[in-house]
Amino acid sequence: MKQLKRFLFLLSALCLLQCTTTTDDEIYHIVTTVCEDSSTGVTVNYHCNRPDSYVLVAQAEDSTFRKAKKIKPVCRKWSTVGIENTSTESTFYTKERYVCYATLSGLKSDTRYIYKIVAGKTKTDARRFKTSGEKGPWNFVAFTDFQHRENPVTLPLIQTMKEIAGDPSLVVCSGDHVDVAGNEYEWTFLLDNEVFRDFVYAASPGDHAYWACDRVNDGYPQYDKPYTFVNLFHFPDNGCPTSPGSSYYFYYNNVLFVALDMNNSDIAAGARFDEEAAWFRETMDRLKGTYQYLVVFMHKSVYGSDFVDEAVAQNIRPQWAPIFQQYQVDLVLSGHDHIFSRTNPMEGGTFYLDMGSSGDKKRRPDSTMLENKTRYAKVIDLIDEGISCASNIEVDARQMRVSVYDQYAQVIDRFTIPARRTTFCRVR
């Protein structure tokens, strides 16, 4: 039976890979992202070769768009020309385009909508999304580290999780969407596939979002900011001033989500981290009492391997673990190590979940992780098991129930996070 599931999974992967190129080179990289309040708005992001595009949005039952509203996006010309370390061979460099985002505001809560984008004679097909505002139980899906270009795992795993979660309204990712962020074709593989649509998306950048081009001599030249990430996704403009577009927060039903930017591979401490920590404290103090659950997603794992990235244990853990304890963060979603680990509730009751990999890059856990039963509730050798991971997280007033699945739709871990806040008010 297991061999049959593997065969069917590989077959679905081949089918999805055939759909990775867009049939229209005029409107591409379309993503629907969160607004600060996702019950009343979302943002439609895309790249376009024309300056005169617009978005038509209507409630889902208006399938002909007869009552649609026309939204003019914010558009600006953009390429990576002039950005240090950028690849001159990437189409991000050679193909100037308009980066566009249209904020669809004033929407009804807990309502399904459709939209399409128009540019000249070109019209996209209709895409779907649903605003937050459910009064009862709801769920969202979490991924990490898609990373490797054209890998056979990521796209079928996304499709599998959409089916398991029942067409989820919200999807989050804790970074490393691609291997080299300066290579546009890697983003095309992920964003322009039919499976990556019809949900509202939120993400934090990984260190690979700072990778400007392929290896040169002994290393990968780095951006000083995640330029392609912030020009593909437009997230709420409420983050740390030193990490605009890559740190932010948003509300979704009874959860406050916070995205943090853990910077590139060579930096794990310094002024930018100090300022982001100060921003986090100020934001949490200001928003106290406005949410029931607090979920942070960040790329590098506070309680990940001490050997994969030593700077994390030396710098990020001492700085961020006390902050998460102080503000009673319920769940921290991360990746980076490519090792699956889930902690017991740590100081302050915080659970740390490193899903390891939602792609095909994996590492073996070190012996200290396997032996530390006080810290870790579960560690899985993804290489031995031959699996990749994603989570369906169910939320209600009593608890969050986290179910981690592999690409064959098998549960590999499950745990619950009891609610600690019984009353909250969204008025700020």
Q: What pLDDT does residue 20 have?
A: 43
> Which CATH number, 3.40.47.40, 2.60.40.380, 3.40.50.300, 2.60.40.10, labels domain 27-130?
2.60.40.380
Which amino acid makes up residue 247? S
Query: What percent of the chain lies above the pLDDT cut of 90?
Result: 83
Please report, for the chain, the start and end positions of each structural domain, with discontinuous segments joined by +.
27-130, 138-418
Instruction: Give strand pairing partners of 268.
Output: none
Higher per-residue pLDDT: 335 or 12: 335
Tell me: pLDDT of 13 over 90.
Answer: no
Helices marked H in 251-407: 271-286, 310-311, 317-326, 367-371, 382-385
The confidence band for 19, taking pLDDT boundaries of 50, 70 and 90, is very low
Over residues 225-263, the pLDDT tens digits come to 999 999 999 999 999 999 999 999 999 999 999 999 998
309 has pLDDT over 90 = no
Select the more confidently predicted residue: 157 or 14.
Answer: 157
User: Which range among 214-218, 268-272, 418-422 shows the weakest confidence by mean pLDDT?
Assistant: 268-272
pLDDT at 25: 55
Neighbour tally for 407: CB within 10 Å: 27
Q: What local confidence, expressed as pLDDT, does residue 76 receive? A: 96
pLDDT, tens digit (0-9, with 9 covering 90-100), for 361-389? 999 999 989 999 999 999 999 999 999 99
pLDDT at position 282, please?
98
Least confident range of 191-205, 268-282, 346-360, 380-394 = 268-282
**Is pLDDT at 427 greater than 70 in this prediction?**
no
What local confidence, expressed as pLDDT, does residue 15 receive?
Answer: 57
Residue 22: what pLDDT? 41
Higher pLDDT, residue 268 or 397: 397
| Cα torsion angle, 309, 314, 320, 325, sign | positive
pLDDT digits (tens, 9 = 90+) for 285-297: 999 999 999 999 9
How far apart CA 44 and CA 88 sit, in angstroms, is: 28
| Mean of the per-residue pLDDT values of the chain | 93
pLDDT of residue 389: 97
Q: In this model, does residue 332 exceed pLDDT 50?
A: yes
Q: Do 5 and 408 meet the contact criterion of CB atoms below 8 Å apart?
A: yes
- Report the pLDDT averaged over residues 156-165: 98
Fold classified for 138-418: Purple Acid Phosphatase; chain A, domain 2 (3.60.21)
Name the more confident of 16 and 397: 397
pLDDT tens across 129-158, in order? 999 998 899 999 999 999 987 899 999 999
Whole-number pLDDT of residue 425: 80
- DSSP secondary structure string, 178-229? SS-TT-HHHHHHHHTSTTS-SSEEEE---GGGGB-SS-BTTB--B-SS-HHH
The model's confidence at residue 16, banded by pLDDT at 50, 70 and 90, is low
With a CB cutoff of 8 Å and minimum separation 6, the contacts of 169 are 129, 130, 131, 132, 138, 140, 199, 200
Q: And the tokens for 388?
A: 């990749």
For residue 415, list its beta bridge partners.
402
Q: Is residue 257 within 8 Å of residue 202, measured between CB atoms? A: yes
The whole-number pLDDT of residue 283 equals 98
